[in-house]
């Protein structure tokens, strides 16, 4: 006879443990990291599609997507419905109530997660054995890590780099530089929603370490 571990809640004390025996033995927390233009959103959509094709239930989250609230979209023209998360979203409550065992969670724009929310996602991986795949940027325009991305690096089971994005000079990109009036900006709010090459919101361009340091946005920047 296996006795209940005195240090762990019983199923009637924690609903997450109540279904854990039905779920796979192990879930994974994965961070898919890349610069702007690396294909993070397209891959997030693809991963969700294949898992649902395999019969797995899942939830998809995003924040401040270019296509508007409630949509996860990519520059390739792909899009799916998604739940909008904010810094006030309680992932334990939302996912624990809505997702059955053997499920998966996809979080795009994961750099906007708070460290506490990353801890919540890790808890769900460990106690519900769901797979959580987060897609996002590591660093902001100032070359420093987003707090949510830093926490993901600290806790993720796997950190996967996406395809390389090049600077205008041909070297590997390192920084999502923020551009205003043709100049590389080094101060301001870490979060400013925008896209590559202009459009609504802030303007960004991927630069190598040298050209970010020297403030050279490259040809064609106005």
Q: Kindly state the tokens that stand for 160.
A: 């996967």
Q: Kindly state the tokens that stand for 91.
A: 């992932």
Length of the chain: 222
CA nearest to 159, candidates 27, 29, 25: 29
Alpha carbons 43 and 126: distance in angstroms, whole number: 24
Please give the sequence-ordered ranges of beta strands (E in DSSP) within the chain, or none if there are none: 29-33, 58-62, 71-73, 79-81, 83-84, 104-108, 131-136, 158-161, 175-180, 183-185, 194-196, 202-207
Q: Binding site membership: which residues?
A: 191-194, 204
CA of 111: how far to CAs of 9, 53, 134, 172, in Å? 32, 28, 9, 21
The verdict on whether 109 is a catalytic residue reads yes
Alpha carbons 131 and 115: distance in angstroms, whole number: 18
- Of residues 97, 109, 154, 164, which has the active-site annotation? 109
Which residues lie below 8 Å from residue 210, measured CB to CB, with a gap of 6+?
Answer: 169, 171
Task: Report CA Rg, the chain.
Answer: 19
Interior CA angle at 33 toward 32 and 35, to 5°? Answer: 140
Q: Binding site membership for substrate: which residues?
A: 191-194, 204
- Known catalytic residues? 109
């Amino acid at each position: 006879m296996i006795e209940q571990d005195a240090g762990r809640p019983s199923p009637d004390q924690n609903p997450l443990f109540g279904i854990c025996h039905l779920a796979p033995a192990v879930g994974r927390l994965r961070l898919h990291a890349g610069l702007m233009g690396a294909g993070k959103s397209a891959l997030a959509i693809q991963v969700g599609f294949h898992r649902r094709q395999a019969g797995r239930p899942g939830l998809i989250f995003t924040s401040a997507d270019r296509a508007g609230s409630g949509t996860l979209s990519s520059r390739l023209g792909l899009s799916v419905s998604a739940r909008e998360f904010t810094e006030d979203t309680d992932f334990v409550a939302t996912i624990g109530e809505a997702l059955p065992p053997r499920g998966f969670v996809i979080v795009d724009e994961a750099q906007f997660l708070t460290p506490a929310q990353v801890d919540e996602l890790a808890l769900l991986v460990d106690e519900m054995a769901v797979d959580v795949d987060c897609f996002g940027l590591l660093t902001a325009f100032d070359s420093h890590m987003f707090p949510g991305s830093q926490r993901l690096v600290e806790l993720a089971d796997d950190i996967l780099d996406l395809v390389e994005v090049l600077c205008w000079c041909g070297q590997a990109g390192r920084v999502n530089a923020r551009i205003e009036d043709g100049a590389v900006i080094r101060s301001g709010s870490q979060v400013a929603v925008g896209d590559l090459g202009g459009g609504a919101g802030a303007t960004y361009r991927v630069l190598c370490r040298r050209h970010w340091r020297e403030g050279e946005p490259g040809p064609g920047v106005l």
